[in-house]
Amino acid sequence: MHSVIKLPFSYIPKDLKAAGSRSCVPTNVYAWMRAAGLVNDHLVSCDFRLI
């Protein structure tokens, strides 16, 4: 299991800000990664984990 601090969504906003983006925070990046299916943080016992 990864620590929240070491997940990519902590680093992406810094890279985007360096590239000129104005409003990009880790919370928004994490939400986008969940919506895109890159992060699955459901519990193993959760029925939605496999969807």
pLDDT tens digits, one per residue of 16-50: 888 888 777 778 888 888 888 887 777 777 777 66
The pLDDT, as a whole number, for residue 17 is: 82
Contact 29, 12 (CB under 8 A): yes
Q: What is the pLDDT of residue 32?
A: 83
On the question of pLDDT at 13 being above 60, the answer is: yes
CA angle 42, 51, 46 (to 5 degrees): 35
The structural domain count of the chain equals 1
Q: 14 and 24 in contact (C-beta within 8 Å)?
A: no
Q: Give the Å distances, CA to CA, from 34 to 10, 19, 20, 38.
A: 14, 23, 24, 6
Domain that residue 40 falls in: 4-50
